[in-house]
Structure 1
Amino acid sequence: MKFIRDLKEGDRISDIYLCKHKQAAVTKNGKSYENVILQDKTGVIDAKVWEPGNPGIGNYDTLDYIDVCGDVNSFQGSLQVSIKRIRVCREGEYNPADYLPVSAKDNDKMYAELLDMVDSIRNPWLKQLLESFFLADDEFVRKFRHSSAAKTVHHGFVGGLLEHTLSVAKLCGYYCGAYPILNRDLLLTAAMCHDIGKVKEISPFPENDYTDDGQLLGHIVMGSQMVAEKAAAIHGFPHGLLAQVQHCILAHHGKYEYGSPKLPALMEALALNYADDTDAKLETFKEILENNSGNQGWLGYNRLFESNLRATRE
């Protein structure tokens, strides 16, 4: 099997992939086509069926395992497959484990690092709050350790939420050393909790798509609610301290246009915003480079970065 991570422009593929998404569309000229997202354990790739009425395109749907024949092209800096033939596979023709993208980092080691951070918190209220999530709530822990951090943009793999959270918390730990004025306990607590709402916003794999609550409320609001619910179960939890944690969560996207209900008003909220944005952007760039591993030069224009990206030459 040729994994998505290893595809390069000019390849012709004839292999089995998970159809993560399928959507009918129409070109500006009124011609029907289909948008498809193919997935395996190494990632996802955009694909197009330009001739959906072609006899070689069998009936298929989202979450089907499909045998695909097509050509790999480059479009706006990203690889894209032009699909010529599709056949739905029968059970036994594929190993489902090959089709779930998984973090390259060890899940147990990452979680142990996160628990070490929890243990380092000195404020008793914040430590209790973190323990109520990451030690006492088995269902939450299971979801948190296996959720993605996003549908497609960054950390869109099993363990992605844990990997992203740990990276953000480590960056915040560095900030605390560089700027001792920061309240370390507050910032690290907010960092570890900033994306907990994603366990409710995004459905489990292999679907890994937005839930109804995710569409209606979003992970920022739900994460703030989850923290409030846990704090309410801790007798005497200081209201002002809870409000500060919630503010950091509500402001961690930094701007209204990026989905933040609040703009950062605390130094800790600002630090969290920059740590979150740094990890998300660098991981996104890393995934773009990995998906274009055969190209050591210019990769084309990328809408997210609003720039023509380039791979560094050694």
Structure 2
Amino acid sequence: MKFIKDFKPGDRVADIYMCKHKQSATTKNGKEYYSVTLQDKTGTVDAKIWEPGGAGIDEFDAPDCIDVFGEVTSFNGALQVNVKRARKCSEGEYDLSLYLPVSSKDNDEMFRQLLSIIDSIGNPYLKKLLQAFFVEDKAFIELFRKSSAAKTVHHGFIGGLLEHTLSVTKLCDYFCTAYPALKRDLLLTAAICHDIGKTKELSLFPVNDYTDEGQFLGHIVMGCEMVGEKARAIDGFPELLKQQLQHCILAHHGEFEYGSPKKPSIMEAVALNLADNTDAKMETFTELLQNVTEPGWQGFNKFFETNVYQTKID
């Protein structure tokens, strides 16, 4: 099959892709069309069905796999597929593994790096807590390594939670070298644990949607509870240390308007918020530019609330 990452303007598309999103919309002239996001393991691409009631357009919805015939075009500097025919496929016609987005980085290597950082933690209580999650809890480890970090926006792929966690932890480790006042053991433990609640907030692919628990509580509260539960099982775990760690998790979104139950009150919480925000924004911009065909202005982006630009150097 031709993977989305290899699409170029002018290409003919005649293959099976997963429908990640489908929405009915209306043109300025009042004509209905479908706006569709097609997905395979290499990425996503915007698609349009301009004649939704026409011959050759079957009924389908997300997350169906559909046999698509169309042409790749470029619109406002980004790839778009003009779909002429679309047929919902039956099980057995496709290999699902080809359509689930997966981190481009090696999962085993990322997890080895995370375990190496855990080994470097000196505080015995924090080290035991991390080992309770990432060495001893096999069910948690399986979920953590398969989970995405989000439904949309950034790291929304298998292994995304691990990739995001490792990046945030590495940024925090650098902060500790630049700002020696930071307590490295506390900050790195908080970084490694800051999004563990997402293993409960989001279901695994191919669904990758919010669970009931995720809707009611959210990953921040659930992560705080998970850390508290593990800490209580460790004999003699200092109460103040537990509270500081939980505070970092509760405050890692930084502002109330961004869903943070607390604003950062300690230096480590500020550092974690900055690292989390940095990695989220850099990955979001990276994913935004994946399907850009030409450098220059790419149009208004709702997440960044500005017109975004693909850098070009003459």
Q: 1:85 to 1:251 in 2, by over 3 A?
A: same
Matched residue, 1:52:
52
8 A Cα contact 1:43 1:157, kept in partner:
no
Q: Secondary structure at the match of 1:93?
A: coil
8 A Cα contact 1:125 1:237, kept in partner:
yes
Q: Secondary structure at the match of 1:60?
A: coil
Matched residue, 1:306:
305
Q: Distance in 2 between matches of 1:230 and 1:108?
A: 25
8 A Cα contact 1:20 1:207, kept in partner:
no
Segment drifting more, 135-144 vs 81-90: 81-90
Q: CA deviation at 1:308?
A: 2.2
Q: Secondary structure at the match of 2:304?
A: coil
8 A Cα contact 1:301 1:309, kept in partner:
yes
- Give the TM-score normalised by the residue count of structure 2: 0.92
Matched, 1:284 2:254: no
8 A Cα contact 2:77 2:294, kept in partner:
no
The within-5 A match list for 1:1-314 is 1-8=1-8, 11-24=11-24, 32-72=32-72, 78-292=78-292, 294-314=293-313
Q: Secondary structure at the match of 1:188?
A: helix
Amino acid at match of 1:309: V
The Cα offsets for residues 168-225 of structure 1, whole Å up to 9 and x where unpaired, read as 0000000001000001011000000011111111111111122222222211111111
8 A Cα contact 2:72 2:82, kept in partner:
yes
Gap runs ≥5 in structure 1: none
Q: CA deviation at 1:81?
A: 3.6
Q: Secondary structure at the match of 2:289?
A: helix
Segment drifting more, 166-175 vs 247-256: 247-256
- Give the TM-score normalised by the residue count of structure 1: 0.92
The Cα offsets for residues 2-39 of structure 1, whole Å up to 9 and x where unpaired, read as 32223345555332101223345567876554443321
Identical-pair percentage: 65
8 A Cα contact 1:77 1:301, kept in partner:
no
Q: Distance in 1 between matches of 2:118 and 2:189?
A: 8
Q: Distance in 1 between matches of 2:112 and 2:7?
A: 34
Q: Distance in 1 between matches of 2:47 and 2:101?
A: 17
Amino acid at match of 1:131: Q
Gap runs ≥5 in structure 2: none
Q: Distance in 2 between matches of 1:197 and 1:117?
A: 20
Q: CA deviation at 1:97?
A: 2.1
Q: CA deviation at 1:61?
A: 2.7
The size of the alignment, in residue pairs, is: 313
Q: Distance in 2 between matches of 1:250 and 1:8?
A: 44
RMSD: 2.1
